[in-house]
């Protein structure tokens, strides 16, 4: 039928054009105008069609995800489940006179499971699931973004009716692109119109609707969102989806290794300890990379060595083929020995491995771990971490007699830690206002802290210079030392 209508229109246009030419009328302006209109139509139609390719959770090809499949986010899951009860128990909600929640905002770093939580929410409420990215809505063409928003809500209702569902979950990733603060785009108002349409659509959600719609947004920059979007009645709940703690990492690793043949020497608790600061996505990558390494070696089981190498690969990247000269390799070994020795003396059992093999931008590195996750840092702890950062270049000066440019990132890290001391009110300045602190006074205090720590670190390494030399020699010979091997060397020299 559509093709027949197109043929009729083309035939009429050709006939009219031929008639106009016969009577002497110039039709070139008309052809240009018609071509321009057609181009705009097909561009906007093609871009609007992208919204139609939104995934529906009821698709048989897509594995359904439940909250049991998500680890390390117990607080976020509990808060999300409580909000979802407003959809599941609609009759009770009405009897209590409770207004249903319209939107939930998931805020957290990348890779922490925000998309998985949204899919699990759809499964938990037996809803259809539609997903889109904030960047799909904002274009240069006037009215396109607003039309996409209307189309998205219409499609949610249609999909729910098609699958005989009473509710739909709309997930918008990178919502800060769509919901950014208004008034910042001076060239045109298309961005603001798109956000206004989203606000209108959310206001139109009612408890009396036959299809209940819940909006779930995800962002790692909630500070960029417009205040009108965050007020009660739009996004009623802001759920923090943070990096998992040790208990959460254990849960996530168990989920991602349940279908893998593990060697008896693999200890999930130790792996969780070694992966402090990893997101759920990084932990999944560790399990996957360990399996790949085992496959390369034709191993039937994934061992702890595979996991150790996988952790280092995810943290630092693949090993590089570049080979430093003999003098450079000696300097790298001395540098990393300084980091490792200071780290182990100041924070016992904290070093997981020491390496002088190049990975990514690092010529060598020390991988640290800690027994328990820390959320508050004391003055002594921060000074200790500064000492570890400075120990590499100090070791070079003690054993080789000069410093190198390889410590620039260490100095930056040490300066950042010193700033934590100042801004935390733990320096000689006392409690200060970060905005009102003069730059010269900040610089003077930073220098004082770093020089004080540098002196104590020089004394620490000079008192253990034989141990430092032994560790450097072992690194030159083996290229890598485990934490246990390092501690054995330190005990041997101490005895």
Residues known to be catalytic: 336
363: nearest Cα among 402, 394, 401, 392: 392
Distance CA 304, CA 266 (A): 5
Here the tokens at position 173 are 């990733």
What are the C-alpha distances in Å from 204 to residues 97, 158, 214, 351, 408? 18, 16, 12, 56, 55
CA atoms within 13 A on the CB side of 365: 17
Radius of gyration of the chain from its Cα atoms, rounded to whole angstroms: 30
232: nearest Cα among 100, 130, 118, 121: 100
| Sign of CA pseudo-dihedral 43, 45, 49, 50 | positive
CB-based contact 340:471 (threshold 8 Å): yes
Distance CA 396, CA 271 (A): 32
DSSP 69: G
Angle at 133 between CA 192 and CA 140, to 5 degrees: 40
467: nearest Cα among 487, 482, 446, 437: 487
Residue 244 CB neighbour total at 10 angstroms: 26
Distance CA 467, CA 111 (A): 41
């Amino acid at each position: 039928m559509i093709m027949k209508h197109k043929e009729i229109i083309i035939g009429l246009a050709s006939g009219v054009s031929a008639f106009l030419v016969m009577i002497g009328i110039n039709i070139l302006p008309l052809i240009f105008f018609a071509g321009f209109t057609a181009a705009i139509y097909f561009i906007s139609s093609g871009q609007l069609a992208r919204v139609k390719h939104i995934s529906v959770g009821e698709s048989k090809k897509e594995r359904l995800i439940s909250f049991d499949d998500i680890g390390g986010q117990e607080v976020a899951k509990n808060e999300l489940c409580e909000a979802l009860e407003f959809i599941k128990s609609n009759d009770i909600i009405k009897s209590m006179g409770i207004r249903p929640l319209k939107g939930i905002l998931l805020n957290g770093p990348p890779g922490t499971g925000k998309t998985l939580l949204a899919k699990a929410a759809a499964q938990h409420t037996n809803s259809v699931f539609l997903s889109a990215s904030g960047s799909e809505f904002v274009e240069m063409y006037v009215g396109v973004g607003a039309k996409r928003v209307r189309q998205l809500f219409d499609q949610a209702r249609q999909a729910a009716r098609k699958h005989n569902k009473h509710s739909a979950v709309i997930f918008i990733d990178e919502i800060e692109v769509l919901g950014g603060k208004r008034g910042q785009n001076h060239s045109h108002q298309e961005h603001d119109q798109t956000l206004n349409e989203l606000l209108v659509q959310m206001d139109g959600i009612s408890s009396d609707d036959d299809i209940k719609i819940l909006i779930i947004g995800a962002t790692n920059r909630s500070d960029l969102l417009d205040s009108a979007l965050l007020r009660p009645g739009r996004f009623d709940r802001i759920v923090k989806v943070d990096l998992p703690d040790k208990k959460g990492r254990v849960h996530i690793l168990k989920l991602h290794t349940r279908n893998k043949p593990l060697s008896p020497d693999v200890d999930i608790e130790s792996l969780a300890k070694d992966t402090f600061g990893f997101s759920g996505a990084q932990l999944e990558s560790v399990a996957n990379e360990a399996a790949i390494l085992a496959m390369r070696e034709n191993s039937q089981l994934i061992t702890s060595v595979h996991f150790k190498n996988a952790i280092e690969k995810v943290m630092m990247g693949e090993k590089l083929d570049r080979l430093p000269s003999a003098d450079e390799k000696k300097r790298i070994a001395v540098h990393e020995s300084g980091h490792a020795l200071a780290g182990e003396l100041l924070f016992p059992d904290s070093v997981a491995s020491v390496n002088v093999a190049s990975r990514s931008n690092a010529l060598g590195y020390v991988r640290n771990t800690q027994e328990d996750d820390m959320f508050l840092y004391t003055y002594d702890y921060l000074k200790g971490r500064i000492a570890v950062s400075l120990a590499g270049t100090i070791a070079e000066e003690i054993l080789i007699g000069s410093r190198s440019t390889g410590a620039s990132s260490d100095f930056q890290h040490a300066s950042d830690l010193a700033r934590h001391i100042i801004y935390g009110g733990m320096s000689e300045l006392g409690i200060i206002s970060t905005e009102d602190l003069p730059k010269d006074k900040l610089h003077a205090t930073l220098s004082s802290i770093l020089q004080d720590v540098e002196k104590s670190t020089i004394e620490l390494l000079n008192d253990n210079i034989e141990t430092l030399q032994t560790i450097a020699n072992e690194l030159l010979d083996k290229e890598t030392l485990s934490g246990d091997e390092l501690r054995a060397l330190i005990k041997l020299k101490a005895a």
